[in-house]
Structure 1
Amino acid sequence: MTTMPTPAATGQTASLATAALAEASERIIASVERVIDGKHEQVVTALTVLLAEGHLLIEDVPGVGKTMLARSLARAVGGTISRIQFTPDLLPSDVTGVSVFNQATREFEFKPGAVFANIVIGDEINRASPKTQSALLEAMEERQVSVDGGTYPLARPFIVVATQNPIEMEGTYALPEAQRDRFMARVAMGYPDAASEVDMLGARDLVNPIDAIEPVVDLDTLRQMLAGVRAVFTSAAVKQYAVAIARATRDDQDIRLGASPRATLQLVRAAKARAAIAGREFVLPDDIDALAVPVLAHRLLPTSRALGRRHEGTALVADVVERIVAATPVPSGH
């Protein structure tokens, strides 16, 4: 385990805030894990993205709990929740909103779409057309929506938790590169282990456990947690380490589209959230290492030559990121 010193400017008040943030994070994780059995890393990553003010992409085959994770996280924190079921006939205006003519006032009025909420669950996002998927681009990056010449700010905090099926499945569209880059992290649920699956059969005979989830933090507390994450210290050496990993993806012979500067920024932001969840006031290189694959892999595109050597592109890219992390010198003593 790499050790890094706490910045000298950190005082007792910051330590108390960090402890409270870590305790609140534990409550959220425990609440979500009442529904999502045996997926601790996925739950922690989902919370990390929420506290880093990013967006989360959950990808896997149908029936493994993608939507349950999104709904459980949304219900465990205070704030408004909206769910969009992406289908081939979904229109961009269904997502962003539309201007409607009011006969009484003889003026157009904006009717907000489903994107106007603190947590937006986009279910099976890659079953909608690329045009409809792109309706989220401005909202995810700039936290606002532009419709008919007007600009409308979104609620704060704002996070999109989207689920998608593998693109090999029938009726799916590949997400545009620009949209994939706006998701801070991607996680795969995977199948539960045998014990967790048996427990699930017993626990869900009569009731759905998600119905029992109540918010464990209110919206004001969540905003304070977000502010606490932003205040986590990141040394210059750790920032340089993150940049070195991102730049290496751009020069790797197996990658034709490397990590963008946005990816580097989001990697550091996610690392700050992971440090805060662990009760630390500073980021370690270990935080960067743990998040490199979830934050970077879904943004990278392998070369056709690399794909020719291996059919599964997602696993190939994850292996490349892990190789780059292992080869990048780790900073110490800063």
Structure 2
Amino acid sequence: MHVHEFMTTFQRLAGSIGQQTGDQEAARNALVCLIAGGHLLLQGGEEESRHLARTLARAVDGARDDEIRFGPDAKDLHLNEPGGPLFTNVLHVSGFPLARPEAQWQLLTAMERRAVELDSVETPLPSPFVSITALPRGHVQRLGLSRRMLDRWTLHCGIRPRVPPAPPEVFVRPTITPADLARMGEVAGAVEVPDAVRWHIVDIGVATRALPSVLVGTSGRGLVALAAAARVVAAADGRDVVSVQDVDAVARPALAHRLHMSDPQPRDADLAVDEIVAALRPVG
């Protein structure tokens, strides 16, 4: 697959999913995570995020979706059993802050390793595998999730209410094969990140640790996620080289949820990342 074919396919998928869900930004971020092998943290309505997960699955021929709902009976969930909810392609997760710490880390470990341990043997999860985790609105720091936990999600954004709500049976038709999706991942992974852009990513990371409003800045994992997302964004624009603008375009969804703020308020972390990006933007 050539990068221009990547661009055409990405735009077609993102447009179709966005039309079905009513939120182009959330649809685009979900698709970036799917291609980059990452995971999406969504804040907003649970029904809207569930609909996005189902729509994303229907956009890939033969893909399956499943759901994990944490709650008062979460202690009875056995995530690592054969044929359990983790063995799917698009996983929707709700109630994550309500889960026991053991269950939370069991899920996060599976997300990161893309595998689970069955009878002392590491068993790969299906490919592709992407999780979309729904959280209520508000600053994620106030939901009781640690920085180590939040660091496991590749991108983070909100999702707008769907008015009127989309019927749950309405999905996009399958528009891409798993083989083509894998090729899109290969194309994105091969996109070049020039040294100047790598240093720009590093400068952003350093700057997150220098703002007075930020107690703890982003991690190295966050900068890796930022570079991976920027590669997909560049390919989606038909280019095989990442630009500073590509990095800046995904800095907020890749980094804001990883910042530990001194006085966490809604959108404070978003504004902090925007401030850093504006200050580091090349002149001319």
TM-score of the superposed pair, with normalisation by structure 2: 0.90
In the aligned structure 2, how far is the partner of 1:321 from the partner of 1:62? 26
Q: Which residue number corresponds to residue 238 of structure 1?
A: 197
The answer to whether the 8 Å contact 1:297/1:314 transfers is no
Does the alignment pair 1:183 with 2:153?
Answer: yes
Does the alignment pair 1:330 with 2:282?
Answer: yes
Q: Which residue number corresponds to residue 247 of structure 1?
A: 206
Cα offset for 1:331? Answer: 8.7
Aligned AA for 2:121? G
Percent identity of paired positions between Structure 1 and Structure 2? 29
- Which residue of 184, 187, 193 corresponds with 1:228? 187
Structure 1 or 2, whichever has the larger Rg, is 1
The answer to whether the 8 Å contact 2:38/2:130 transfers is yes
Distance 1:96 1:28, change over 3 A: same
- Which residue of 96, 99, 115 corresponds with 2:86? 115
Cα offset for 1:236? Answer: 0.8
Aligned AA for 1:72? T
In the aligned structure 1, how far is the partner of 2:171 from the partner of 2:158? 25
Aligned AA for 2:151? D
- Which residue of 125, 135, 139 corresponds with 2:106? 135
In the aligned structure 2, how far is the partner of 1:150 from the partner of 1:44? 35
In the aligned structure 1, how far is the partner of 2:37 from the partner of 2:109? 15
Structure 2 unaligned regions, length at least 5: none
Which whole-Å deviations, capped at 9, do the CAs of 1:202-231 have from their partners, x for residues lacking one?
xx5xxx264342211011111111111101
Q: CA RMSD in A?
A: 2.5
In the aligned structure 2, how far is the partner of 1:183 from the partner of 1:233? 23
Distance 1:289 1:210, change over 3 A: farther
Q: Which residue number corresponds to residue 144 of structure 1?
A: 115
The answer to whether the 8 Å contact 2:33/2:155 transfers is yes
The answer to whether the 8 Å contact 2:18/2:28 transfers is no
Aligned residues: 282
Residue aligned with 2:74, SS: coil
Q: Which residue number corresponds to residue 316 of structure 1?
A: 268
Distance 1:49 1:62, change over 3 A: closer
Q: Which residue number corresponds to residue 230 of structure 2?
A: 271
TM-score of the superposed pair, with normalisation by structure 1: 0.77
In the aligned structure 2, how far is the partner of 1:136 from the partner of 1:32? 26
Does the alignment pair 1:83 with 2:53?
Answer: no
Cα offset for 1:299? Answer: 0.8
Residue aligned with 2:105, SS: helix
Residue aligned with 1:186, SS: strand
Q: Which residue number corresponds to residue 25 of structure 1?
A: 10
Distance 1:148 1:178, change over 3 A: farther
In the aligned structure 2, how far is the partner of 1:161 from the partner of 1:168? 18
Distance 1:116 1:92, change over 3 A: farther
In the aligned structure 2, how far is the partner of 1:331 from the partner of 1:73? 38
Pairs within 5 Å for 1:69-80: 69-78=52-61, 79-80=63-64
Does the alignment pair 1:287 with 2:246?
Answer: yes
Cα offset for 1:191? Answer: 4.2
Residue aligned with 1:57, SS: strand
Q: Which residue number corresponds to residue 28 of structure 2?
A: 44
Q: Which residue number corresponds to residue 38 of structure 2?
A: 54
